[in-house]
Amino acid sequence: MTDSAHTALPPVRVGLLGLGTVGGGVINVLQRNADQIARRCGRRIEIIHAAARRLDAPRICSLDGILLTTDPMSVVENPAVDIVVEVMGGMNPAHALIERALSLGKPVVTANKALIAHEGNALFERAEAQGTLVAFEAAVAGGIPIIKSLREGLAANRIEWLAGIINGTGNFILTAMRDAGRSFADVLAEAQALGYAEADPAFDVEGIDAAHKLTIMAAIAFGMPLKFDGVYTEGLSALQTEDVRYARELGYQIKQLGIARRHPEGVELRVHPTLIPERRLLANVDGVKNAVLVWGDAVGPTLFYGAGAGAEPTASAVVADLVDVVRTLTADPTHRVPHLAVVPSEVSDLPVLPMSEVTTGYYLRLMVRDQPGVLANIARILADHGINIEAMIQKEASETSAHLPIVLLTHPLREAVMNRAILAIEALDSVQAPVVRIRVESLAG
């Protein structure tokens, strides 16, 4: 197509809410690749109006030709704005701004996973009623096109399960702690300086951000409503370096995983530190990179890998959504790709299984007194609960402790049974409570 052909239609005019890491990246990518993007859309995309809290703050992008304001609602209300891009973050005022844009019939592109995970069901309903849409590729796994892959590329499949490293900050911290022995606080500060972390970094380290993303992926993979409240969430902050070291001795890496799995009786949704065999590709995803392993009945395992955070990787996803939205502007709303992959009337509620019903392997670290019979007592409790031990290592006691560590790996079993066995072990006089428990996934099918 020639340049004149893609300028035949008037440009699509975008209102941008937020000029931070992602907003700045969006402006840079749209400016640098303007011609390529216009060839793909059949018309140009121009940011005409943008909002931030501070108009005099230094920016990573040029703001030439963009009308600036501190009033984001004026961007939404601007009749010249065709599409609203929300990259401010937070629940409010982002929620009210997106609702207003939809009620004006304007499509919205957002990177705001917290908002989609909590309010997505109602927002999609409103968008559909208004004949418009909310696009949110950037809300999950940064630059990886995982939403499009789940919704379109894997549309032939019954998706059985997915497991992913879906928080860049958390993975960046884990990798630096493992490889460079750096402190948690020091690496987190670097992730913040690089623009990876959430406004409240507790969302990253406590698994909440990953739970938002898992909620979104599961809804699309299984055609169910978004159910953030059903996600079991355990953060990284309690993880101890000795467990990372013992896991490696046993041939495993510890990663913060989001796991969604379909069962006849419901779905499991969980985010927690997880031991993964070293030979799995996911175990070798390091730094700010994310990866999502999706198992479809026809395709088998597929792995999606890329940068999980940062200005331009995230902008890649936001701008891809913009291109999609521009392409749909002239399409009949009833023939668009549905928000949750199935047509709205086919979204079916699925119960979320309690964590006690989940089956998984376990890494246990017990601190025990160095005395005869301790190991026999522990083995008896495990045997009484029908628990199979896969591997065990016993370590020397340190000079400062009267207890020595015993590390066990179990075969998969129901969490409720493991909970009962741990209570019984912790009740032994010779065992220092609490027992450290980290779940283990083979990711083998």
Residues forming the active site: 213
Query: In terms of CB distance, is 204 or 268 closer to ligand HSE?
Result: 204
Which partner from the list ligand HSE, ligand NDP, none does 93 bind, CB cut-off 5 to 8 Å by kind?
A: ligand NDP
**Contacts to ligand NDP from residues 280-339, by CB under 6 A:** 309-310, 314
**Minimum distance, C-beta of residue 252 to ligand NDP, in the bound complex (Å):** 28
CB nearest ligand NDP: which residue? 20
- Select from 288, 232, 281 the least CA-distant residue to 258: 232
Among 89, 107, 361, 405, binds ligand NDP (CB under 6 A): 89
Tell me, residue by residue from 101 to 140, as one string, x for binding to ligand NDP by CB under 6 A and - for no binding: ----------xxx------------------------x--
Query: In terms of CB distance, is 82 or 209 closer to ligand HSE?
Result: 209
- By CB under 6 A, tell whether 171 contacts ligand NDP: no
Residues comprising the chain, all counted = 445
The amino acid present at 127, given as its one-letter code, is A
Query: In terms of CB distance, is 321 or 415 closer to ligand NDP?
Result: 321
- By CB under 6 A, tell whether 22 contacts ligand NDP: yes
**Minimum distance, C-beta of residue 210 to ligand NDP, in the bound complex (Å):** 12
Contacts of 404 (CB under 8 A, 6+ apart): 367, 368, 370, 394, 395, 396, 397
- Gap between the Cα atoms of 327 and 12, Å rounded: 11
Q: Which range of residues in 116-124, 173-181, 194-202, 371-379 is near ligand NDP by CB under 6 A?
A: 194-202
Which partner from the list ligand HSE, ligand NDP, none does 204 bind, CB cut-off 5 to 8 Å by kind?
A: ligand HSE
- By CB under 6 A, tell whether 215 contacts ligand NDP: no
**Minimum distance, C-beta of residue 288 to ligand HSE, in the bound complex (Å):** 7
**Minimum distance, C-beta of residue 393 to ligand NDP, in the bound complex (Å):** 38
- By CB under 6 A, tell whether 165 contacts ligand NDP: no
- By CB under 6 A, tell whether 51 contacts ligand NDP: yes
206, HSE (Cβ side, Cα atoms, 13 Å): 6
Among 32, 53, 380, 411, binds ligand NDP (CB under 6 A): 53
- Gap between the Cα atoms of 406 and 419, Å rounded: 18
Torsion of CA 263, 269, 275, 276, to 10 degrees: 60
CA atoms 205, 209, 211, 217: torsion sign? negative
Q: Which two tokens stand for residue 374?
A: 């301790």
Which partner from the list ligand HSE, ligand NDP, none does 215 bind, CB cut-off 5 to 8 Å by kind?
A: none
Which partner from the list ligand NDP, ligand HSE, none does 167 bind, CB cut-off 5 to 8 Å by kind?
A: ligand HSE
Would you tell me which residues interact with ligand HSE (CB under 6 A)? 142, 167-169, 196-198, 204, 209, 308-309
CB nearest ligand HSE: which residue? 169
Q: Which two tokens stand for residue 170?
A: 């958390």
**Minimum distance, C-beta of residue 110 to ligand HSE, in the bound complex (Å):** 12
Which partner from the list ligand HSE, ligand NDP, none does 205 bind, CB cut-off 5 to 8 Å by kind?
A: none
Report the greatest alpha carbon distance in the chain. Answer: 85
**Minimum distance, C-beta of residue 114 to ligand NDP, in the bound complex (Å):** 7
**Minimum distance, C-beta of residue 167 to ligand NDP, in the bound complex (Å):** 10
Q: Which two tokens stand for residue 279?
A: 């030979």
With contact defined as beta carbons under 8 Å apart, do 272 and 229 qualify?
Answer: no
With contact defined as beta carbons under 8 Å apart, do 332 and 190 qualify?
Answer: no
Which partner from the list ligand HSE, ligand NDP, none does 163 bind, CB cut-off 5 to 8 Å by kind?
A: none
The amino acid present at 228, given as its one-letter code, is F
Which partner from the list ligand NDP, ligand HSE, none does 143 bind, CB cut-off 5 to 8 Å by kind?
A: none
Q: Going by DSSP bridges, is the β-strand pair 159-165/12-17 parallel, antiparallel, or unpaired?
A: unpaired
Q: Which two tokens stand for residue 430?
A: 């010779």
Q: Which residues are at the interface with ligand NDP (CB under 6 A)? A: 18-23, 51-54, 57, 70, 72, 87-89, 93, 111-113, 138, 142, 195-196, 198-199, 309-310, 314
